[in-house]
Amino acid sequence: MSKKATAKSKYNIEPRCFYGLVPWRCNHHADRSEIVAYVEASGRWETVAVIPSTSGASAEALATFIARIVNATHQNKDLLRNAMEALEAIINDGLNFTTEQAAEHAISDIKQVV
């Protein structure tokens, strides 16, 4: 048995989704910023990163940047899935009324984001 398998069984560590339907947010303090996420397993908000102030970069700006990237990735996941499904339908079924409508809907959603 590998060390990784031993550690997993010993502590029963399972990967968890940190941001499900709830976006990450930042708590700013004088000397640092904390990125917090709603952890579905515990049912509460927990700190997932602490960003210290550094020379030339504020903790607030960096924490906000990281949280925006995570939140944008999560928000765009459904958009990308819908576009992929519309493209797959056209490839599999050809262009018909249903697949054309799905493609137009995906294009409309993408235009709103871009």
- pLDDT at residue 55, rounded to an integer: 83
DSSP letter (8 states) at residue 99: H
Q: What would the two tokens of residue 52 be?
A: 């210290």
Domain assignment present for residue 39? The answer is yes
Per the domain annotation, does 9 fall within a domain?
Answer: no
Structural domains of the chain, count: 1
With 0-12 / 13-18 / 19 or more C-beta atoms within 10 angstroms meaning exposed / middle / buried, residue 51 is buried
Is a pLDDT exceeding 70 seen at residue 48? yes
Range of the structural domain that residue 63 is part of? 14-113
Confidence of residue 20 (pLDDT cuts 50, 70, 90): low
Q: Count CB atoms within 10 A of the CB of residue 33.
A: 22
Residue 40 lies in a domain: yes
- 8 is a domain residue: no
Asked whether the beta carbons of 52 and 30 are under 8 A apart, the reply is no
Contacts of 79 (CB under 8 A, 6+ apart): 106, 109, 110, 113
The structure's pTM equals 0.57
81 located within any domain: yes
Sign of CA dihedral 52, 58, 61, 65: negative
pLDDT tens-digit profile of 71-103? 887 778 888 888 889 999 988 998 899 988 999
For residue 4, being part of any structural domain is answered with no
β 25-28/44-52 pair status: unpaired
- Within a domain: 68: yes
- Checking 15-18 for CB contacts under 8 A at 24+ apart, the result is 16/40, 16/41, 18/48
Confidence band for 13, pLDDT divided at 50, 70 and 90: low
Please report whether residue 2 resides in a domain: no
